[in-house]
Amino acid sequence: MADPHAFHRVPRATRPQRPAAERVTDWRPVDLPMPAVQVQEQASRCMGCGVPFCHAGCPLGNVIPDFNRMVTDGDWDAATDRLLDTNNFPEFTGSVCPAPCEAACVAGVGGEPVSIKTVERALAERDQFAGLRPRPPGRLSGRTVAVVGSGPAGLAAAQQLTRAGHTVVVYERADRVGGLLRYGIPDFKLPKALLDARIEQLSAEGTQFRTGVDVGRAVPLAALRARHDAVVLAVGATRWRDLDVPGRGLDGVHQAMEYLPDANRVAAGLVPEPAVDARDRHVVVIGGGDTGSDCVGTAHRQGARSVVQLEILPEPPQTRPDSTPWPLWPLVLRTSSSHEEGGDRHFAVSTRRLTGGADGRVSGLELVDVELDGRTPVPVAGTERTLPADLVLLALGFTGPEADLLGCDGLSLTARGVLARDSGYATSEPGVFVAGDAGRGQSLVVWAIAEGRACASAVDAWLTGATRLPSPVTPSQTALV
């Protein structure tokens, strides 16, 4: 029987990490597996709450107390099955999810939350070790579905629809399947062997993949709609924000999503060297989010001379502020493994212009401190200064999908710049549905998987009149993160 006081007796622990000086020399994972006995101890800290708020924190609705109890009792197979009931890809969320479930953990109200992500990752690794057994459908429906985009939302929708008995074809414009997971997230955070194993499982279940197909340019969406009974658009939010300041056109200024995919291709052995290389450069990353952090870690591994990350917002507090009380996602300072590897972080600072030399290459940034007036950053007089830089990476986030490429008059954008859809993920074009960041806006991998699953349920119901697939979220659901 589980110890009901274990959350007091057992201190919280997470997966160990390789030393920073070692890991910046390669692209292998930052973290290391936790021994099974320790994972069981961490799972035992779960209080088994009568009202488990971790459910509300998890977009997928993972039944966290159940698999924690099973791991505590040593029933690893049952725990894995329970996790897979709600999460198609726990190895992805176990690697890159910020764990909003932990922010909502009741044990965290007056102490440290349960290490849910660590337990989830351990279960995912056991599943991977077992060979990711395919679960093909018992019979086919005779219906075909096109899924455009092979990121987490597209893959989740494809797997669910394939398991429902439909013939699913995933179209990806890049040369390899995976979308954001393949080229947007560095290997040291998400090893691509995990992605490859999952794609192999999907293929064995019957999902078909077509790479190098640019829907909208090479293949009109209307043609795809005529070929299939339904279409799921899971194209992500790839339209990046730019920096509208003098000097933006100088050489050496690049978008993060020009820089990171290039580095990932080098790590995968697809190209010999990056077109944009931080080696011996003074690198400045503008943008304080996860993408900016990935740029920081990548620059360290490429041998940057110095790395500075800039954020226009003030430095968050170290502890949960009153503005985000439990169980909401707390607005606190977060330090990633990339930050721990070196470099500086500057908060409440804005870039006024980029400066360059006669050769047309960027040489520095003119900065000014800012203070918030409501939500508007206001420059602070007398704080102007110059920061040297010969490589500037823009990680300012994304506004929505490249909807102009889809070539379908029935689609429209909302005021937020995402594809319009109703509560059933359907667009105004019959048979065309939207899942993930394309309809939600820039968000987390865990939300993309949840939306892919829910959209698959809506498509299945539209095709057959009913569905047995679970639907964890709706587009209008209020999130805690």
Kindly report the number of other CB atoms within 10 A of residue 129's CB atom: 8
The mean-pLDDT minimum among 67-81, 122-136, 170-184, 350-364 falls in 122-136
pTM of the model: 0.95
What's 144-238+399-464's CATH class? Answer: alpha beta
String of DSSP letters for 47-109: ---SS-THHHH-TT---HHHHHHHHHTT-HHHHHHHHHTT-S-HHHHHHH---HHHHT-GGGT
Read off the tokens for 4.
């009901």
Q: In the CATH scheme, what is the homologous superfamily, with its name and number, of domain 6-129?
A: Alpha-helical ferredoxin (1.10.1060.10)
Residue 479 has pLDDT above 60, yes or no: no
Domain ranges of the chain: 6-129, 144-238+399-464, 242-396
Q: Do domains 6-129 and 242-396 have the same CATH topology?
A: no
Model pLDDT for residues 95-140, shown as the tens digit of each residue: 999 999 999 999 999 899 999 999 999 999 988 766 788 889 989 9
Distance CA 190, CA 95 (A): 6
Q: List the CATH code of the domain at 242-396.
A: 3.50.50.60
The answer to whether the beta carbons of residues 157 and 455 sit under 8 Å apart is yes
pLDDT band at 346 (very low <50, low <70, confident <90, very high): very high
The answer to whether the beta carbons of residues 232 and 157 sit under 8 Å apart is yes
The pLDDT, as a whole number, for residue 480 is 39
Q: DSSP label at 433?
A: E
Model pLDDT for residues 253-281, shown as the tens digit of each residue: 999 999 999 999 999 999 999 999 999 99
> Among positive and negative, which fits the CA dihedral 50, 54, 58, 62?
negative
